[in-house]
């Protein structure tokens, strides 16, 4: 349910008691979530589909289409992220970090974690697309300030962006000289078969109707073109460990949270026939883990030293890599990637 704050308007909501994909009545997963980072008003509940074949997670109620913009008034497209509990490190914690961080980095190199991370990070940073064939057109939907788009263009793609946030779009144009359209994909009315590739990096979880958006991607792709999505993994190790305090939940902006199976199902329903989905480790420097630790600290009221928080983030990162690469438990990965190819007529 939404509430009000002294500085923010109430966000109007719509009820969403049943699963978007299979229609099953949702089971309460987390209740009374708030937005400690960007300060969107209200408290929010997450429901989970009880069907083991589905497992979709969603907000109920969720922000209405008309009021969703209110959740983004303070967000990373406007300002760089600052840790929630940023502050000066005391002498003891500073000394412990100074001693242990180099030892940890040596351990990462010795067991091959750094090499694995570098290999995966290079692929993930380019959305698994590789080098762009000369002249091939790419559209980055939800491009923000243009970080991903700049990387893809550097790798040879003839890229342009699409962004609903006018301030972020202007920043991408002015600061990076990128071609960026404003608005939602459906409103652009691109001709059929326009792009060789479409990327959506952490976008699909923000929309009310994911299937409709994917269907529009299919329409504007050329035959043989690829759509690549990245989104948080609701079955990740981090969500299992931190629950309601996990950073990937991000209420009220994340309307739907996916597994690799139900994201693939959305894509198939949109009309793609060649679809592959997989999880990725995504724990570079443990950033998402540290945010989750900070939120848990704020929720419980139990303050911890910087060294203690760093130690837990590092331990969880090692465990995630062990489960992912050694035990082959792919679904502990922090992110889901999906690649769909438009069939030739």
DSSP 221-249: EEEEEEEEEEEEBTTSHHHHHHGGG-TTT
pLDDT (0 to 100) of residue 78? 45
pLDDT (0 to 100) of residue 37? 72
CA geometry: angle 205, 317, 102, nearest 5 deg: 135
**CA atoms of 115 and 96, how far apart (whole Å):** 26
pLDDT (0 to 100) of residue 286? 60
The domains located in the chain, with CATH, are 91-341 (3.40.50.150)
| Alpha carbon of residue 342 to chain centroid | 24
User: Six-digit token pair at 291?
Assistant: 């945010």
Number of other residues whose CB lies within 10 A of the CB of residue 344: 7
Across 296-335, b (16+ Cβ under 10 Å) vs e yields bbeeeeeebebbebbbbbbebbbebbebbeeeeebbbbbb
**CA atoms of 259 and 26, how far apart (whole Å):** 16
- Residue 182 host element (H or E): strand 180-182
DSSP 287-307: HHHHHHHHHHHHHH-----HH
Tell me whether residue 243 is exposed, middle or buried, using C-beta atoms within 10 angstroms of its C-beta: 0 to 12, 13 to 18, 19 or more. Answer: middle
pLDDT (0 to 100) of residue 196? 97
- Residue 52 host element (H or E): none
pLDDT truncated to tens, each residue of the chain (345 aa)? 333 333 457 999 999 999 999 999 999 999 999 987 777 889 999 999 999 999 999 999 999 999 999 888 766 554 444 444 455 678 888 899 999 999 999 999 999 998 988 888 889 999 999 888 888 999 999 999 999 999 999 999 999 999 999 999 999 999 999 999 999 999 999 999 999 999 999 999 999 999 999 999 999 999 999 999 999 999 999 999 999 999 999 999 999 999 999 999 999 999 999 999 999 887 545 667 888 988 899 889 988 899 999 899 899 889 989 999 999 998 999 999 999 999 987
pTM greater than 0.85 (yes/no):
yes
User: Six-digit token pair at 4?
Assistant: 């009000």
Across 81-114, b (16+ Cβ under 10 Å) vs e yields eeeebeeeeeeebeebbeeeeeebeeebeeeebe
- Sheet holding 274-280: strands in order across? 180-182, 158-163, 137-141, 195-201, 221-232, 335-341, 274-280
């Amino acid at each position: 349910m939404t509430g009000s704050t002294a500085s923010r308007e109430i966000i109007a909501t719509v009820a969403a008691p049943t699963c978007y994909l299979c229609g099953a009545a949702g089971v309460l997963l987390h209740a009374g979530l708030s937005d400690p980072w960007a300060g969107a008003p209200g408290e929010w509940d997450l429901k989970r589909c009880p069907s083991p074949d589905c497992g979709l997670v969603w907000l109920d109620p969720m922000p209405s289409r008309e009021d969703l913009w209110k959740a983004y008034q303070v967000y990373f497209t406007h300002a760089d992220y600052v840790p929630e509990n940023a502050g000066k490190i005391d002498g003891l914690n500073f000394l412990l970090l100074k001693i242990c961080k180099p030892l940890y980095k040596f351990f990462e190199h010795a067991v091959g974690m750094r090499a694995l991370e570098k290999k995966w990070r290079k692929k993930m940073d380019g959305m698994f697309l590789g080098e762009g064939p000369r002249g091939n057109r790419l559209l980055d939907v939800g491009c923000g300030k243009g970080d991903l788009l700049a990387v893809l263009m550097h790798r040879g793609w003839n890229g342009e962006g699409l962004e609903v946030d006018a301030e972020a779009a202007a920043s991408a144009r002015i600061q990076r000289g990128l071609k960026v359209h404003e608005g939602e994909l459906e409103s652009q009315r691109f001709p059929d078969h326009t792009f060789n590739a479409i990327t959506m990096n952490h976008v699909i979880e923000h929309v009310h109707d994911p299937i409709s958006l994917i269907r529009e991607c299919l329409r504007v792709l050329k035959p043989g073109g690829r759509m690549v999505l990245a989104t948080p993994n609701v079955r990740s190790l981090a969500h299992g460990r931190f629950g309601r305090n996990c950073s990937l939940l991000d209420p009220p902006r994340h309307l739907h949270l996916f597994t690799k199976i139900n994201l693939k199902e959305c894509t198939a329903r949109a009309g793609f026939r060649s679809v592959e989905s997989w999880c990725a480790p995504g724990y570079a420097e443990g950033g998402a883990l540290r945010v989750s630790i900070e939120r848990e600290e704020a929720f419980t009221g139990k303050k911890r030293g910087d060294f203690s928080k760093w130690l837990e983030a590092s331990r969880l990162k090692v465990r995630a890599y062990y489960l992912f690469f050694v035990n082959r438990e792919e679904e502990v990965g922090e992110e889901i990637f999906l690649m769909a190819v438009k069939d030739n007529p």
